Amino acid sequence: MKDINLLVWITQLGLTVAAPLAGFTLLGVWIQGHFQLGKWVIVLFCAIGLISAVDGFRSTLRMLSKMEKRKDDPNPTTSFNQHE
């Protein structure tokens, strides 16, 4: 079960990084072609996609580290009011 859970998180990490970068780049190419703008639009949207990918990478790693801390917790019981 641990291996499947790890595989899910690795897939999530890949999608969190690749999807914003690819999506914003394709959106920039479409906007540049549709509205006949300069190449700066593609560069701008690539930069936005890169920033989004880095933020997604950081948040996914943060969540993985929280999961690791919970796994090592000797008292795993959580009351209703302690949920995040």
- Residues 37-55 as b or e (16 or more Cβ within 10 Å = b): eeeebbeebeebbeebbee
Quick check: 21 pLDDT over 90? yes
pLDDT recorded at residue 53:
97
pLDDT recorded at residue 37:
96
- What tens digit of pLDDT does each residue of 23-82 get? 999 999 999 999 999 999 999 999 999 999 999 999 999 988 888 887 776 666 666 666
Owner of token pair 């560069």: 43
Owner of token pair 């079960």: 1
SS3 40: helix
Structure token digits, residue 80: 């209703």
Cα 58 to its chain centre, rounded Å, is 7
